[in-house]
């Protein structure tokens, strides 16, 4: 009968220990995130303050140098004024020595002093005001520098405190690891104590009749706990922490059982040795039975309370597990939607870049074809003009030969008619068939000029063609650069998608490890509707299929379903990446 209260108390202790450990771990994780965020903020603030301090220090040094230069300039100016005043004073003394009337000398001295001191006094006042303003600015800069030094000290103190907190966080992390190791050792010890408890139960067969009701109630609670544990596949490891308390209760029960056995043996010996005190011993036995009955009732009440609290704790853990699973599914869907949006953006940019490059290539090709056609037309025209020029030149030469032949014939006729062939003269310069006055020669020269113009136009077209080709090559290079940049962006998006895939794989492996560590319990079958909505939204890896699975992810309520959904999402994401490639 004492087993049930001890078991309930051990269950309560183990639940309290597990709750405290879980709460401590969560608080440490929250503090870790806050400390990391505070460290980043303090680091950014420190960098900004350091940059501002450097700028102010440079400004202060520049102003100090400027002030020193100004003071040096003022000293030189005052020295020059002093020398000028001394020179004027010498001249004034010489003039006084030459002047006889004292009244006129006094008047002249007063007037000269007023004329000499008025501008210098104004300059001195202005310089004094400037020096005072510079002194105030210097004092302000010193005050700001002291404030900056104070801020730097505060920043250093904050950094030191942050380092201490980080060190404490590391110690807490080590302590959490130690507690986890102790928890695993306690689980192993609980298994060993369970075997010892079985042996103790075999030895306590004589007391089972009195404890039958408590054992039946405990077995019923164990059956109910087993059913609840099978529903909590992901958190079975945490529930097993209760076994440590059960082991402690078992040890306590074993000790109580041994003590009770020894007490009963002593009582039996007393009964055998003292038959005369049978009445008193019977009364003691009745009182002991009444106390045992009261203790059994108390133990039953404690067991019922512990069972109720245990069931409530299991419900809370179930709700927390389901909430974590839903958050994990939402995070996976959000990351996948971000990857898909980035891939869409990259595809749109790639299409725009490809269209721009194709348009540039088509434009350059059209310009090249136009320039080629113009060059070919110019070459054809130049060839035609050259042929015409050659024909005109041949015609001019034939006309020239014919004119010379006619001239010779005329000279022969004139020589024969005059009888003096030696005195005849050739009027080639005035012959109508001479090349200088031939229209064919003029046409040939005109054709030569036109050929030269055609060659110049051809050279201009060639230069234009070269410029168009250079422009086309430049645009092609720009298109290639844009294509390379787009390729790099695609590689970056693919790397990000691969990272997300590895994160999903890590989550899946972690969940599998947790299930393996939980060990043993039968898993619930996944809901066919949720898995069909997640895995069957599109076998080809389309974007619409991935996004349409977000509504089905809300139906996932167990860790087995979540792992199946993550696997389906991972397969579809790999298919989508393969389609993008």
- The rounded distance, in Å, linking the Cα atoms of 547 and 572 is 11
Residue 580 banded pLDDT, cuts 50, 70, 90: low
Of the listed ranges 206-220, 316-330, 424-438, the least confidently predicted one is 424-438
- The rounded distance, in Å, linking the Cα atoms of 32 and 24 is 12
Asked whether residue 224 falls in the same domain as residue 357, the answer is: no
CB-based contact 120:81 (threshold 8 Å) = yes
Determine the Cα angle at 86 with ends 81 and 89, to 5°: 120
Within 10 A of 174 (CB to CB), how many other CB atoms are there? 10
Asked whether residue 89 falls in the same domain as residue 161, the answer is: yes
Q: Is the pLDDT of residue 147 over 50?
A: yes
Asked whether residue 253 falls in the same domain as residue 328, the answer is: no
Instruction: Round the average pLDDT of the chain to a whole number and report it.
Output: 69
C-alpha distance from residue 203 to each of 2, 259, 295, 466 (Å): 16, 14, 22, 107
CB-based contact 234:518 (threshold 8 Å) = yes
- 296 assigned to some structural domain: no
What would the mean pLDDT of 373-394 be, rounded to a whole number? 69
- 422 assigned to some structural domain: no
CB-based contact 292:524 (threshold 8 Å) = no
What would the mean pLDDT of 175-185 be, rounded to a whole number? 74
pTM tops 0.75, yes or no: no
Q: Which of 264, 259, 254, 262 is nearest to 288 (CA)?
A: 264
Asked whether residue 77 falls in the same domain as residue 178, the answer is: yes
- 418 assigned to some structural domain: no
Check residue 308 and give its pLDDT. 75
- 308 assigned to some structural domain: no
- The rounded distance, in Å, linking the Cα atoms of 303 and 307 is 6
The helix/strand/coil state of 542 is coil
> Of the spans 26-30, 264-268, 559-563, which averages the highest pLDDT?
26-30
Residue 549 banded pLDDT, cuts 50, 70, 90: very low
Which tokens belong to 453? 């113009």
Check residue 360 and give its pLDDT. 65
- 304 assigned to some structural domain: no
Asked whether residue 135 falls in the same domain as residue 192, the answer is: yes
C-alpha distance from residue 454 to each of 187, 388, 448, 458, 507 (Å): 102, 13, 10, 6, 78
Q: Where does a domain end: 235, 258, 273?
A: 273
Check residue 276 and give its pLDDT. 60
Asked whether residue 266 falls in the same domain as residue 334, the answer is: no
- 486 assigned to some structural domain: yes
Asked whether residue 259 falls in the same domain as residue 332, the answer is: no
Three-state SS string over 139-189 comes to HHHHHHHHHHHHHHHHHHHHHHHHHHHHHHHHHHHHHHHHHHHHHHHHHHH
Q: Is the pLDDT of residue 252 over 60?
A: yes
- The rounded distance, in Å, linking the Cα atoms of 396 and 438 is 8
Residue 443 banded pLDDT, cuts 50, 70, 90: low
Left if phi > 0, otherwise alpha if psi is -120 to 50, otherwise beta: which for 7?
A: alpha
- The rounded distance, in Å, linking the Cα atoms of 162 and 171 is 14
Asked whether residue 226 falls in the same domain as residue 83, the answer is: yes
- 567 assigned to some structural domain: yes
Asked whether residue 463 falls in the same domain as residue 519, the answer is: yes
Residues 6+ apart with CB under 8 A from 19: 313
C-alpha distance from residue 322 to each of 236, 333, 571 (Å): 14, 16, 24
- The rounded distance, in Å, linking the Cα atoms of 362 and 365 is 5
Q: Is the pLDDT of residue 206 over 50?
A: yes
**What is the extent of the structural domain holding 523?**
321-412+431-580
Asked whether residue 71 falls in the same domain as residue 137, the answer is: yes
Q: Which of 249, 183, 184, 218 is nearest to 17 (CA)?
A: 183
Quick one: how far is CA 221 from the chain centroid? 52
- 330 assigned to some structural domain: yes
Check residue 60 and give its pLDDT. 87
- Interval 406-424: pLDDT, tens: 777 777 777 677 665 444 4
Alpha helices in 204-277 (DSSP H): 212-231, 236-239, 242-273
Asked whether residue 269 falls in the same domain as residue 326, the answer is: no
Determine the Cα angle at 238 with ends 234 and 241, to 5°: 150
Structural domain count, the chain: 2
Asked whether residue 182 falls in the same domain as residue 53, the answer is: yes
Quick one: how far is CA 150 from the chain centroid? 34
What would the mean pLDDT of 216-235 be, rounded to a whole number? 62
């Amino acid at each position: 009968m004492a087993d049930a209260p001890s078991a309930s108390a051990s269950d309560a202790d183990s639940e309290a220990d597990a709750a405290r450990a879980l709460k401590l771990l969560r608080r440490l994780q929250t503090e870790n995130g806050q400390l990391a965020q505070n460290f980043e903020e303090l680091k950014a603030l420190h960098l900004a303050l350091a940059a501002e301090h450097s700028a102010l220090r440079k400004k202060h040094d520049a102003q100090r140098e400027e002030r020193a230069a100004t003071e040096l300039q003022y000293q030189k100016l005052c020295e020059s004024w002093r020398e000028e005043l001394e020179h004027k004073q010498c001249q004034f003394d010489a003039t006084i020595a030459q002047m006889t009337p004292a009244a006129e000398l006094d008047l002249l001295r007063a007037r000269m002093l007023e004329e000499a001191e008025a501008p210098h006094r104004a300059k001195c006042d202005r310089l004094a005001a400037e020096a005072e303003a510079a002194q105030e600015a210097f004092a302000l800069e010193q005050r700001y520098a002291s404030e900056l030094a104070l801020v730097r000290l505060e920043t250093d103190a904050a950094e030191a405190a942050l380092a201490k907190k980080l060190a404490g966080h590391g110690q807490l992390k080590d302590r959490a690891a130690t507690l986890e190791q102790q928890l695993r050792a306690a689980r192993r010890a609980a298994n060993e104590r369970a075997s010892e408890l079985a042996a103790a139960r075999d030895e306590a067969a004589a007391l089972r009749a009195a404890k039958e009701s408590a054992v039946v109630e405990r077995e019923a609670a164990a059956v109910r706990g087993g059913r609840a544990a099978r529903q909590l596949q992901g958190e079975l490891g945490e529930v097993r922490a209760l076994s440590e308390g059960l082991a402690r209760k078992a040890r306590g029960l074993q000790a109580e059982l041994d003590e009770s056995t020894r007490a009963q043996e002593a009582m039996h010996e007393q009964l055998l040795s003292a038959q005369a005190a049978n009445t008193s011993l019977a009364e003691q036995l009745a009182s002991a039975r009444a106390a045992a009955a009261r203790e059994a009732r108390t133990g039953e009440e404690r067991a019922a309370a512990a069972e109720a609290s245990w069931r409530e704790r299991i419900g809370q853990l179930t709700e927390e597990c389901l909430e974590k699973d839903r958050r994990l599914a939402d995070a996976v869907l959000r990351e996948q939607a971000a990857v898909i949006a980035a891939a869409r953006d990259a595809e749109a940019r790639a299409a725009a870049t490809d269209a721009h490059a194709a348009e540039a290539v088509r434009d350059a090709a059209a310009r090249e074809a136009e320039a080629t056609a113009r060059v070919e037309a110019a070459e054809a025209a130049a060839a035609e003009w050259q042929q015409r020029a050659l024909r005109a030149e041949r015609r001019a030469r034939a006309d020239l030969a014919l004119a010379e032949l006619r001239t010779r014939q005329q000279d022969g006729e004139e020589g024969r008619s005059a009888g003096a062939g030696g005195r005849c003269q050739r009027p080639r310069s005035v012959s109508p068939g001479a090349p200088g006055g031939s229209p064919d020669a003029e046409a040939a020269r005109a054709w030569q000029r036109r050929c030269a113009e055609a060659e110049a136009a051809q050279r201009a077209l060639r230069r234009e063609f070269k410029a168009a080709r250079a422009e086309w090559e430049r645009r092609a290079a720009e298109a290639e650069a844009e294509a390379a940049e787009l390729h790099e962006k695609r590689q970056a998006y693919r790397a990000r998608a691969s990272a997300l895939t590895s994160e999903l794989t890590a989550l899946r492996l972690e969940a599998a490890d947790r299930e393996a560590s939980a060990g043993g319990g039968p898993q619930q079958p996944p809901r066919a509707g949720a898995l069909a909505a997640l895995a069957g939204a599109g076998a080809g890896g389309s974007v619409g299929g991935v996004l349409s699975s977000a509504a089905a992810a809300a139906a996932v309520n167990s860790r087995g379903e979540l792992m199946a959904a993550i696997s389906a999402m991972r397969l579809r994401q790999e298919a989508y990446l393969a389609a993008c490639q």
